Amino acid sequence: MKYRIEHDSMGDVQVPADRYWGAQTERSRGNFPIGVGLETMPREITHAFGLLKKAAAMANFELVSDRMTRKKFTYLGMACDEVAAGKLDDHFPLVVWQTGSGTQSNMNANEVIANRGNELAGEKLLHPNDDVNMSQSSNDTFPTAMHIAAVLGIEQKLLPALTSLIEAFRKLAADHEGIVKCGRTHLQDATPIRFSQEISGWSESLATDREMIQAALPMLRRLALGGTAVGTGLNAPQGFAERVAEKVSQLAGTKFETAPNKFHALSSKDEFVFAHGALKALAADLMKIANDIRWLASGPRNGLAEITIPANEPGSSIMPGKVNPTQCEAVTMVAVQVIANDTAVGLAASQGNFELNVFMPVAAYNFLQSVRLLADSMASFEERCVSGIRADETKMRQNLTQSLMLVTALNPYIGYERAAETAKKAYRENISLKEACVALGYLSAERFDEVFHPEEMC
């Protein structure tokens, strides 16, 4: 491999000749060989750095054009566009497990943008610190990248997948309107319910989760950029914080604003905890819904078997013909991971001292993984399971007619205790509720038929 020599404040460093990163990135590669190749800094963070660095250059060009000249701004901006578009991902090798401020990843961005900009300019025009990092600090850029990545991930990936799944369940409910089935509480038979009502519970849970996620977005739109090292805004020109938030909004295509208190923005990650709590709520509901579906599809002969789900692949290497609810299992595993990630995000937010949280990379890593996994799993779940769910009306009717909890309809006519005695007799003797009620002398056969209408109980 060919190398070139790069220099930083600690001296010279050999860097692979075909990579745009510089000395500080290379030092980090050597100092943090943890999870290499598996746990690289999320690409959402890398791309967010491209956006925020260009936004900072735009603001600096307008506020301090004697330092951020038009020529510098032009080539710096071109390099930033390539970073934001993911064209230079191979030049961002650093792992999550580095300094807790994300300093090395900030410098990785500074070095790549400077070296690529210089290549485009055909001269050594840009300096990583003096130009690309102008009016900034790692302490305000990394939390800004976190917020940009979180908002874009939620808006562009998570919410569209969630909304599509909600609509899929609403369509499923409409397609199965009028079908009455046995309700269940405590995994025991309960009073009847329409299948469409059961499905509406699923869609409304997801719609509520969507509201909670949307409620978290305004706080994630507040950017730390402009606080620099400790929140005072040292070395940033007057008005930079407000101006750069406007530029980020323009580039990202969604609204951001400057954080009203930069001391809070640098030292606290409470917005991430709040927002991830909504993601955890979504994970919990997805766990419940996926479990309901695989229970209802259990069988096919010795389970509930009230619905059928798509058969996507063979389910066993030894049992021929077996088909398993694999999409449900994938969703529930994702839910477990997201719920676990919530612990990591919460613990990370509780750490750090004085003016800076120093657990930002791990918080970002877990948060963005949750967004990605939830979005991907919901899209797969909708396409490969939910869209193919069909009710087995015969089985639903059979289970409903065998349910002893239909006796609840008799409460107004024979009272709770007599109705309970009727249900116990029917169960004990394996006879129908009608036979038990008539045998006990509580209602005549004719009167039973007059008052007993399960389909009206829901």
Enumerate residues 6+ apart whose C-beta is below 8 A from 394: none
Q: What is the pLDDT of residue 14?
A: 96
- The residues pairing with 356 across neighbouring beta strands, listed in sequence order, are 353
| pLDDT per 10-residue tile (average), the chain, 458 residues | 93 96 96 93 98 98 98 98 98 98 98 98 98 98 98 98 98 97 96 98 98 98 98 98 98 98 98 98 98 97 96 91 95 98 98 96 98 98 98 96 94 97 97 96 96 90
**Domains, the chain, ordered by start:** 3-134 (1.10.275.10), 140-222+261-394 (1.20.200.10), 403-457 (1.10.40.30)
> Whose CA is closest to 129, among 121, 138, 120, 117?
138
Q: Residue 29's CB: how many other CB atoms inside 10 A? A: 20
- CB atoms near residue 100 (< 10 Å): 18
Pick the closest to residue 275 from 357, 206, 193, 341 (CA basis). 341
Q: Residue 167: which residues within 8 A CB-CB, separation 6 or more?
A: none
What pLDDT does 417 receive?
Answer: 97
Catalytic residues: 186, 316
- 338, 279 Cβ separation under 8 angstroms: yes
Global pTM value: 0.96
Pairing of strands 222-223, 257-258: parallel
Distance of CA 88 to the CA centre of its chain: 25
pLDDT attached to residue 352: 86
Q: How far apart are CA 144 and CA 266, in angstroms?
A: 9
